Amino acid sequence: MRQVRTIRYRDIADDLRRRVEDGEFTAGRLLPSESELSGSYRAARVTIRKALEALRVEGLVDSRQGFGWFVPADTVRQPLAQLATIEAQLVQEGRRSERRILDFAFVRPPARVRARLGVDKALMVRRVNLADGEPFARVTVWCPEELGADLSRAQVQEHSFYDLLPITLGGATQTIGADAADERDAELLHVPVGSPVLVCERLTCDATGTPVLLGEYVFPAHRTEFTVDLVRPTSSIAPSGLRLLE
């Protein structure tokens, strides 16, 4: 009987396709590195890369500098022109939202937090936000002790500070920058150490203009985009709200 010879990279592509379609690699999840795949399939990295490139043509996987290969997912889009929670934005898009509280404690906050909130003690809540079961944000929120004194871990697990604080909120200022994931955030967000992340700091004030919340949000850059609707054209085509860091 004549033996049919198969092409190695196609065999690997077929197996990876099956693993993606069976849900082993879910949307937004990083695949093992090329080196790890090379070891598990006992194939040269050039063969692994050819298999992955074949799946990229099909739209099943993609890659980005600093992340490696991943299964594409709908980007989490966050409008900046309104004071809203991450969860509310996800629900509007028909996505499943979940939060996991990692830390809940009254602490002496870092110097930059003390300077912005004007307090020496604050409630600090650190959590991971998930969209459709996959982590997409590490969030740390500080609230002055006097405002958070009656709050519980269970309450902040289920509700936003915006709903829990017994005050009328005013506006907020958001600052967005780029950074690299440290070991702690890399583990929480399922991304490589040193991979690109977007860092958003939001300072929320009450109706009198007094700062009442400071939030730090860290997002994997391959899953997040921020949008701003400009009411009318300006005299410059440059994006508004940019400032040059020293």
SS3 letters for 42-108? CCCHHHHHHHHHHHHHCCCCEEECCCEEECCCCCEEEECCCCCCHHHHHHHCCCCEEEEEEEEEEEC
Residue 124: how many other CB atoms lie within 10 Å: 20
Q: The domain spanning residue 110 has which CATH number?
A: 3.40.1410.10
User: Rounded to whole angstroms, how far apart are CA atoms 187 and 193?
Assistant: 8
For 164, list phi and psi in degrees, rounded to 5.
Answer: -90, -30
Instruction: Please report which confidence band the pLDDT of residue 78 belongs to, taking 50, 70 and 90 as the band edges.
Output: low
**Looking at the structure, do residues 101 and 172 belong to the same domain, yes or no?**
yes
143, containing H or E segment: strand 134-144
Give 127-179 pLDDT, tens digit per residue: 999 888 888 899 999 999 999 999 999 999 988 898 899 899 988 888 888 89
Owner of token pair 């929670």: 85
Tell whether 136 is covered by a domain.
Answer: yes
**Looking at the structure, do residues 116 and 209 belong to the same domain, yes or no?**
yes
Which DSSP category does 156 fall into? H
User: Rounded to whole angstroms, how far apart are CA atoms 140 and 213?
Assistant: 10
Instruction: Give the per-residue pLDDT at 16.
Output: 93
**Looking at the structure, do residues 92 and 189 belong to the same domain, yes or no?**
yes
User: Rounded to whole angstroms, how far apart are CA atoms 126 and 139?
Assistant: 6
User: Would the pLDDT of 74 be above 80?
Assistant: no
Residue 3: how many other CB atoms lie within 10 Å: 5
Instruction: Give the per-residue pLDDT at 21.
Output: 87
Tell whether 238 is covered by a domain.
Answer: no
**Looking at the structure, do residues 37 and 150 belong to the same domain, yes or no?**
no
Instruction: Give the per-residue pLDDT at 116.
Output: 94
Segment among 42-56, 74-88, 178-192, 202-216 with least mean pLDDT: 74-88
Instruction: Please report which confidence band the pLDDT of residue 191 belongs to, taking 50, 70 and 90 as the band edges.
Output: confident
Tell whether 246 is covered by a domain.
Answer: no
Tell whether 199 is covered by a domain.
Answer: yes
Instruction: Give the per-residue pLDDT at 4.
Output: 39
Owner of token pair 């391959």: 222
**Looking at the structure, do residues 161 and 98 belong to the same domain, yes or no?**
yes
Q: Which structural domain, as residue segments, surrounds residue 155? A: 76-227
**Looking at the structure, do residues 111 and 38 belong to the same domain, yes or no?**
no
Q: How many domains does the chain have?
A: 2
Instruction: Give the per-residue pLDDT at 178.
Output: 87
Tell whether 242 is covered by a domain.
Answer: no
Q: The domain spanning residue 31 has which CATH number?
A: 1.10.10.10
**Looking at the structure, do residues 56 and 124 belong to the same domain, yes or no?**
no
**Looking at the structure, do residues 145 and 205 belong to the same domain, yes or no?**
yes
User: Rounded to whole angstroms, how far apart are CA atoms 21 and 116?
Assistant: 48
Give 204-244 pLDDT, tens digit per residue: 999 999 999 999 999 988 777 777 666 665 555 555 555 54
Segment among 40-49, 79-88, 133-142, 182-191 with least mean pLDDT: 79-88
User: Would the pLDDT of 193 be above 70?
Assistant: yes
**Looking at the structure, do residues 56 and 107 belong to the same domain, yes or no?**
no
**Looking at the structure, do residues 131 and 50 belong to the same domain, yes or no?**
no
Tell whether 202 is covered by a domain.
Answer: yes
Give 98-118 pLDDT, tens digit per residue: 899 999 999 999 999 999 999
User: Rounded to whole angstroms, how far apart are CA atoms 135 and 26?
Assistant: 12
User: Would the pLDDT of 27 be above 60?
Assistant: yes
Taking the alpha carbons at both ends of the chain, their separation in whole angstroms is 73
**Whole-number average pLDDT of the chain:** 84
The alpha carbon of 133 is separated from its chain's Cα centroid by a whole number of angstroms, namely 12
pTM, entire model: 0.72
Percent of the chain that is helix, strand, coil (3-state, to 5): 30, 35, 40
* pLDDT: which is higher, 244 or 44: 44
Mean pLDDT of 59-65: 85
Segment among 87-91, 139-143, 178-182, 192-196 with least mean pLDDT: 87-91
**Looking at the structure, do residues 34 and 80 belong to the same domain, yes or no?**
no
For 183, list phi and psi in degrees, rounded to 5.
Answer: -60, -40
Rg over CA atoms, the chain: 22
Tell whether 112 is covered by a domain.
Answer: yes
